[in-house]
Amino acid sequence: MEGKKEEGIRKGPWKAEEDEVLLKHVKKCGPRDWSSIRSKGLLQRTGKSCRLRWVNKLRPNLKNGCKFSVEEERVVIELQAQFGNKWARIATYLPGRTDNDVKNFWSSRQKRLARILQTSAAAPATPSSKSHKTKREVSVFHELPTTMEATKFNCSSEGEPSSQPQPCLSPPPYFRNSEIIKMVPLPDIVKPKSLCFETNPVQHELPITDKDPWTDSNTAIPFLQNPQTQTDQIFSSETQEFLARFDPYFDVLGPLDALGLGNGGEPLVMEPPLFEPVGSCLSCEGERIDHTMTPDCVFDDFPTDMFDQIEPLPNTSGSGQH
DNA sequence: AAGCTCGTCAACCGCTGTAGG
DNA sequence: TCCTACAGCGGTTGACGAGCT
């Protein structure tokens, strides 16, 4: 398709004059016929580029240059868990935000997650060192609780979540209700298989296998082990204090109607079933679908290298396993 | 003060889906 | 049914600024 060399195509940052021309076109013709902009000689931009400029910068009511609010962050997190990386779809739930905004926001978080995982693995437990935290470190840790879910949870491994919410695309439980979040302070070593995403708390105490389902070795994944202990070991008291502030944050991660979304801002209109209990959800048509999210299904979709940088903790056998 | 690291943002690229001929 | 053009989407990249060492 792209056989012939495109001549006279301008790329790069848009000038104010170009924006003006584009706006005029949209006023006249509406947000369509993008390719005609070039064919008419109005701009030396591809239709694609024009559309993108309109959608991301020139459209009315965009929240350009303002950071994501806490509410917006929560919505993105929830919807990403439900829909996967369907940024355009997610953006429709966020008035004034574009798919590009959401995408950028999410990838920043992913980067931070990667860094957190690396640094927490590379520099564990140095409580006395570094009594001062840099601002940046603090902000990184600020993301910690919410980045735990940052992996894709589209549990169908054979591909793409469809445009409809799929049963398997339910949000990860610790972001669905506080009941599940309370699984965090488990007393013992928690291996992935015991991170059962069920509302039934009993599941959290499932027998733990000797094998790590990811590595097929006996190496447990420290980050997922007894998180309380890990937190104590890895983070300084300041950071812990900071993390402690997330308790109330988690508390509001209950059913959507409890989120108070839109407080003081534009109301965030949510489509039906964002916060369904694990085990069932509603299809787009409002039809309830029962399903069970198995741990395997969930962890299948963790990036395989997600924990590459994490070294196993010293053997905690005795205190840990049961 | 300079260099470095990181986060944010804008824009491009390639792929896919769809409508029309 | 096939082909083509276009629209839309998601991934990626590069520029830039802010903060830190």
Report, in angstroms and rounded to the nearest whole number, the Rg of chain A calculated over CA atoms.
23
Query: Which of helix, strand or coil describes residue A180?
Result: helix
Residues A78 and A99: their CA atoms lie apart, in Å, by: 15
Q: How far is the CA of A101 from the C1' of C15 (A)?
A: 17
Residues A116 and A149: their CA atoms lie apart, in Å, by: 13
A16-58 is classed CATH 3.40.50.970: no
Residues A90 and A67: their CA atoms lie apart, in Å, by: 16
Q: Is the CB of A164 under 7 A from strand B?
A: no
Residues A173 and A198: their CA atoms lie apart, in Å, by: 7
Helix, strand, coil percentages for chain A (3-state, nearest 5): 45, 0, 55
Q: Which nucleotides of B are covered by protein (CB under 7 A)?
A: 6-14
Nearest CA to A237 out of A155, A129, A312, A313 is that of A129
Q: Which residue is nearest to nucleotide B9 (CA to C1')?
A: A104
Q: For residue A21, give both structure tokens.
A: 């021309």
Q: pLDDT per residue over A142-151, tens digit each?
A: 444 433 343 3
Please give the nucleotide, over all strands, whose C1' is closest to the CA of residue A48: C7
Q: How far is the CA of A161 from the C1' of B5 (A)?
A: 36
| Contact residues for A298 (Cβ-Cβ < 8 A; gap 6+) | A153, A155, A172, A195, A197
Q: pLDDT per residue over A76-109, tens digit each?
A: 988 888 888 899 899 999 888 999 999 999 988 8
Q: What is the pLDDT of residue A143?
A: 41
- Distance separating the N- and C-terminal Cα atoms of chain A: 61
Q: Is the CB of A104 under 7 A from strand B?
A: yes
Domain limits of chain A?
16-58, 70-262+270-299
pLDDT at residue A113 is higher than 70: yes
Q: pLDDT per residue over A165-182, tens digit each?
A: 333 333 333 333 332 222
Q: How far is the CA of A15 from the C1' of B8 (A)?
A: 20
| Contact residues for A193 (Cβ-Cβ < 8 A; gap 6+) | A206, A208, A209, A213, A295, A296
Q: Is the CB of A57 under 7 A from strand B?
A: yes
pLDDT at residue A163 is higher than 80: no
Q: How far is the CA of A60 from the C1' of C6 (A)?
A: 24
